[in-house]
Structure 1
Amino acid sequence: MGTLVTFHAHPDDECIVTGGVMRKAFEEGHRVVLVVATRGEAGEIPDFLEPGEELWQRRVVETHAAADLLGVTRVEFLGYQDSGMMGDELNTRPGSFWTADVEEAAGKLAAILLEEDATALTIYDRFGGYGHPDHIQVHRVGTRAAEIARTPAVYQAKVRETRLREAMRRAGEEPSPLGDEAVPDSEINVSVDVTKYLDVKRAAMRAHASQIPERSFFLKLDDETFAYAFDTECFIRPGHAPSSTLDL
């Protein structure tokens, strides 16, 4: 049995992007570890926080609740600050993940990879999916950490934009343009069927109630449209043949 380490930018990214493969790995007997770069301090503040409770505190609790559903054995936060969306003044705030020294951050992640003897690591594609600075930094830091730790398999998570955008239109939402830097779906060469785990994937999303309320796009989709958008989790593994599984 192997160890899958999934590296994400913020709480809730894990269930949206890799929740299915995490639960699949767990049910197949593998160890699953979740590493999150930030505590999501720049997220939307809900109206149900307790007096004196900070958003990041709630998001940490939500992360552990979602992780339990996904079969995660260990959760680690690297301790960087949420950088906000690209162009936000938070991008350059001291301690933001976007301003982090890549070598230093990679060293922190590599230490976990080595401690866990990780057989596979998931990160994001070079554009971070949709251009968020912290997601782009996950790609950079994760790539370097895998080099340091000599992790055998690195998978760049890539949402199928064509299906996600169609699902958004079905839900009455018009997706915003991604721009020329976005990584095309044609680069995907690993597609894992996670249909069996869609219920737990959506339950993990629901655990992140501060950022994924019932009115959100993810939860208001009917079952058929949700499956259309999320029944396959996709990755890019440069230089490898097409596959329907992760090498663990």
Structure 2
Amino acid sequence: MGTMVNFHAHPDDEAIATSGTMMKAADDGHRVVLVVATRGEQGEPVSGVLEPGERLGERRAAETLDSAAIIGAHRVEFLGYEDSGMAGDPANDNPACFWRADFDEAVERLARILIEESADVLTVYDEHGGYGHPDHIQVHRVGVGAARKVGIERVFYATMNRTRILRQMAEVESFAEAMEAMETERLERFDPEDFGTAEEEITQEDFGTAEEEITHAVDVTSYLGRKRAAMLAHTSQIAPDSFFGDMTEEQFADAFGVEWFVAPGLAQTDGFATDLFG
């Protein structure tokens, strides 16, 4: 058996992006560790959910522990940086935010955990962080740097299958409606004109990854009930009547039944690989 470390930017990212893969690894007998770069202080809380005087970052950290318990993670660690906000937000300039973190220091913080855990597998995000969020891009950079520092070879980039999403939107009306609802919810959180970073501009082609470039597809359909529960554990961000909560079982399975990864340096040959430990 081995150890998988899953590196994420904010609370709830783990539930949405890789929770099914984490559940499967834990059920297969592997040790599963969740590392979160920030406590998501810049998120927009669901109206009325915070108690008077309650800080959002503290609430989201507690929600992460609840989510991790549902997932079956064996350890949860926060790297201690502050949320950088969406691209173009004033929070991007906060010297304490993850986007502005000293690269070598951030690499060392993660590397210490990887060494402590004798990690065999590390998951991060793809090069553009899935959709251009500064903290997601930084997770990729720091994660790859830490893996290189400690010599982890099995590094996987969690991503979205852009080809499949576009195909489903064209073929299935219910899926298109669900994705449009998710896009509306996403756009409420930031201005699309700021969809980029200080160093590069993120285009529609950089949303997720083309199918032919994806190497691993992990079927998590048997974990979808727990996956949705892990998402809804983040009550400050995901209300029961939100997009994620309102999706039918069919819509949820279409959107989240497979988790996609890219193994750098490998090429897809006879279809997708299905096991990050294989």
Task: Please say whether Structure 1 and Structure 2 have the same fold, judged by a TM-score greater than 0.5.
Answer: yes
160, 170, 173: which one aligns with 2:181: 173
Kindly report which structure 2 residues correspond to 1:57-136, keeping only aligned pairs within 5 A, or say none: 57-136=58-137
Residues 62 and 209, structure 1, Cα contact 8 Å, conserved in 2: yes
Q: CA deviation at 1:163?
A: 4.6
Would the aligned equivalents of 2:161 and 2:208 in 1 still touch at CA under 8 Å?
Answer: no
Cα pair distance change 1:158/1:3, threshold 3 Å: same
Question: Which of 227, 230, 234 lines up with 2:256 in the alignment?
Answer: 230
The 8 Å contact of residues 15 and 205 in structure 1, kept in 2 or not, is answered as: yes
Report the secondary structure of 2:41's partner residue: coil
Q: In structure 2, what is the equivalent of residue 157 of structure 1?
A: 158
Maintained 8 Å contact 1:213/1:219: yes
Cα displacement string for residues 7-39 of structure 1 (whole angstroms, at most 9, x for unaligned residues): 000000001000100000110111000000000
Q: Distance in 1 between matches of 2:165 and 2:40?
A: 23
* Shift in CA distance, 113/55, structure 1 to aligned 2, threshold 3 Å: same
Paired position in structure 1 for 2:266: 240
Q: Would you say the 8 A contact 1:45–1:55 is kept in 2? A: yes
Structure 2 Cα separation of the partners of residues 228 and 7 of structure 1: 25
Distance 1:63 1:100, change over 3 A: same
The 8 Å contact of residues 163 and 229 in structure 1, kept in 2 or not, is answered as no
Q: Which residue matches 2:233?
A: 207
Q: What stretches of structure 2 of length at least 5 have no aligned partner?
A: 193-202
Residue 173 of structure 1: SS of its match in structure 2? helix
- The 8 Å contact of residues 23 and 71 in structure 2, kept in 1 or not, is answered as yes
Query: 1:221 corresponds to which residue?
Result: 247
- How far off is 1:214 after superposition? 1.4
Stretches of structure 1 lacking an aligned partner (at least 5 in a row): none
Residue range with higher mean Cα deviation, 30-39 or 169-178 = 169-178
Q: In structure 2, how many angstroms separate the alpha carbons of the residues matched to 1:164 and 1:226?
A: 13
1:108-132: per-residue Cα shift (whole Å, max 9, x none)? Answer: 0011001000000000000000000
Task: Report how many residues are paired.
Answer: 248
In structure 2, what is the Cα distance between the partners aligned to 1:117 and 1:21? 19
Identity %: 53
Describe the shift of the 1:88–1:197 C-alpha distance in structure 2 as closer, same or farther (beyond 3 A). Answer: same
* Deviation at residue 174 of structure 1 after TM alignment: 7.2
Residue by residue over 1:60-103, the C-alpha shift from the partner in whole angstroms, topping out at 9 and shown as x without a partner, is 11000000010111100001010000011100111010011121
Q: Does the 8 Å contact 1:168/1:174 carry over to 2?
A: no
CA contact (8 A) 1:163 1:228 kept: no
Aligned residue in 2 for 1:5: 5
SS at match of 2:204: coil
CA distance in 2, matches of 1:142, 1:3: 16
Q: 1:222 to 1:183 in 2, by over 3 A?
A: closer
Distance 1:94 1:238 in 2: 31
**Residue in 2 that maps onto 1:34:** 34
Aligned to 2:15: 15
Return the offset for 1:168.
5.8
Q: CA RMSD in A?
A: 1.7
* Distance in 1 separating the partners of 2:93 and 2:148: 27
Are 1:184 and 2:209 an aligned pair?
yes
